[in-house]
């Protein structure tokens, strides 16, 4: 029943796109295989077409097909440990929070650390480019499987739940002392040597560190610092984004 209900939502979203005059180039199938709920969030890059939703609840085993306009670029991440304050009515998440006080992010980014899916959809014969980034850190395992014009394209992801292995100095902990996310060294310390800023703002002066290598060993296909690379390409793809892939 859950899958059927979400299919109706997907069809409704697609109908809205066409009636509003926006042509949908592709579909993001967003699914939750975690044993806890997540609240996926989407942020459009400046100049990118707007989306009909920028945040929603996804319970375990549920999925949702989201219609994405042509030439869209932006990012997607999971928010975790979310709740609405019964006194203020404000919605808040312990990781990835948008700061809007609502489930919809409405153009706001997520507070780091977050495991980010970043994509730039090609048009006019250009390829899509996409990656998983833990440059700000990690909060939830995620994988991205694109299916393009020529079949399956390279999978990007950070499948390992590294919160339990996070170095103490990088851990984002809750009020019980549990590590709920793992910050990058840049997020934790703000040091230019880790952030690739100031005197370290070029590939020649900013390279991997012991902290970025920790993330790389757990997430080999993810970008772990500013000049790490990690982008893949695909032609006219649809994307399956899975939180906590098996």
DSSP class per residue in 151-196:
EEPPPEEE-S-GGGG--GGGEEE-TTS-EEEEE-HHHHH--HHHHT
The 10s digit of each residue's pLDDT in 3-51 is: 444 444 444 444 444 333 345 589 999 999 999 999 999 999 999 999 9
Q: What is the pTM of this model?
A: 0.88
What CATH architecture does domain 2-160+221-243 belong to?
Answer: Sandwich (2.60)
pLDDT band at residue 210 under the 50/70/90 scheme: very high
For residue 13, the model assigns a pLDDT of: 44
Question: Is there a contact between 209 and 176 (Cβ–Cβ < 8 Å)?
Answer: no
Examine the pLDDT at 218 and tell me if it is beyond 50: yes
CB crowding 49-76: b at 16 or more within 10 Å, else e: bebbbbbbebeeebbbbbbbbebbbbbb
Is the confidence at residue 232, as pLDDT, over 80?
A: yes
Domains of the chain, by residue range, sit at 2-160+221-243
Once rounded to an integer, what is the mean pLDDT over residues 59-86?
Answer: 96
Burial of 166 (0-12, 13-18, 19+ CB in 10 A): buried
Average per-residue pLDDT for the chain: 90
Burial (Cβ within 10 Å: 0-12, 13-18, ≥19) of residue 169: exposed
Using DSSP, state whether 11 is helix, strand or coil.
helix
Per-residue pLDDT at 124: 73
Q: For residue 107, what are the β-bridge partners?
A: none
Summarised one tens digit per residue, pLDDT across range 97-124 is 999 999 999 999 999 999 999 999 987 7
Run of H or E residues at 148: strand 142-148
pLDDT at 92: 97
User: Distances from the Cα of 79 to the Cαs of 30, 59, 63, 139, 150, in angstroms?
Assistant: 13, 12, 15, 8, 33
Residue 75's SS3 state is strand
Residue 99 Cα distances to 79, 92, 138, 202, angstroms: 11, 7, 18, 32
Distance CA 29, CA 174 (A): 30
């Amino acid at each position: 029943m859950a899958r059927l209900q979400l299919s109706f939502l997907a069809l409704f979203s697609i109908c809205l796109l066409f009636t509003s005059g926006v042509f949908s180039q592709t579909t993001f199938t967003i699914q939750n295989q975690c044993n806890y709920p997540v609240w996926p969030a989407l942020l459009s890059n400046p100049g990118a077409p707007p989306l009909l939703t920028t945040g929603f609840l996804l319970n375990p085993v549920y999925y949702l097909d989201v219609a994405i306009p042509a030439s869209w670029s932006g990012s997607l991440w999971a928010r975790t440990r979310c709740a609405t304050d019964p006194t203020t009515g404000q919605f808040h998440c312990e990781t990835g929070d948008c700061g809007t006080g609502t489930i919809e992010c409405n153009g706001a980014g997520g507070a780091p650390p977050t495991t980010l899916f970043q994509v730039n959809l090609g048009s006019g014969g250009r390829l899509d480019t996409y990656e998983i980034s833990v440059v700000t850190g990690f909060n939830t395992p995620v994988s991205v499987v694109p299916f393009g014009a020529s079949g399956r394209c390279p999978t990007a992801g950070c499948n390992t739940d590294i919160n339990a292995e996070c170095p103490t100095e990088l851990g984002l902990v809750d009020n019980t002392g549990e590590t709920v996310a793992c910050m990058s060294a840049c997020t934790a310390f703000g040091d230019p040597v880790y952030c690739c800023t100031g005197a370290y703002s070029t590939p020649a002066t900013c390279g991997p560190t012991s902290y970025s290598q920790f993330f790389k060993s757990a997430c080999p296909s993810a970008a772990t610092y500013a000049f790490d690379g990690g982008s893949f390409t695909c032609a006219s793809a649809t994307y399956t984004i899975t939180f906590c892939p098996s």
